[in-house]
Structure 1
Amino acid sequence: MDTSDELLQGADPAALLTPDGAVLGVNTAMATALGRSAEECLGRDFGDLWPAGQRMSAESLVAHAAKTKAVAMRVLDFPARDGAPVASLIEARSVKDPTGDEQLVWVRALDARNDLTSLC
């Protein structure tokens, strides 16, 4: 992907973070899934955007991807809105900032409804 904006395009929730978890950008789908506006997410720690029971998992997902440069996956529950929380497979991977040499972490929810191989 050529620009960090491309990492946030698409219908599925996505975020771009610093290696220590600070939110640099989120798409509308991620902000909506977290029950916040995109502006409320910027600059905050990614783990702090999740319900209390999910924070450690969200933080460890980002830390693993940032430190090992490997793809990390966790099942996290997006906050409940008028019902039960929504479980989603979340992927995090280290990416290079196309505008510089800084390493970033790209986080996205995978849509596995029609692709069971993405769960392997």
Structure 2
Amino acid sequence: MRTAEQACRNHNHYYVGVGHVLLALLEERDAAIEARLASGGHSAPEVIDDVRRAIGTGEERLWDGILITPRVSRIIEIAETRVPTTLPLEPAHLFDAIEAEGGLFAELLSRYVGNTRVS
């Protein structure tokens, strides 16, 4: 979540949204996520460009704090329900949860990934 928070700050936003989480996951270069993209014939830098465009930029001002959006909380909840409690939550689980949630970024991902989910 720290990387997502930094993505939020880099785009002058006061909230961590699904797009920031997705951007962080792609920038981390997780092997399972890279494999998902490769199975669709794509790579992280291609998707990162589209995600950045979709996120846009906010106002040029400093915010006192960063909020986590309800949709991000929902993504985490989806990921946690799909992973046995004995296993750690991995980046690929969040990636799959973004797809499962079905919002704008799931639609964006559908253009890039193959059909090899982790969870």
Higher strand share: 1
Same fold (TM over 0.5): no
Q: TM-score, normalised by structure 2?
A: 0.31
RCO higher in 1 or 2 (8 Å CA, sep ≥ 6)?
A: 2
- Normalised by the length of structure 1, the TM-score is 0.31
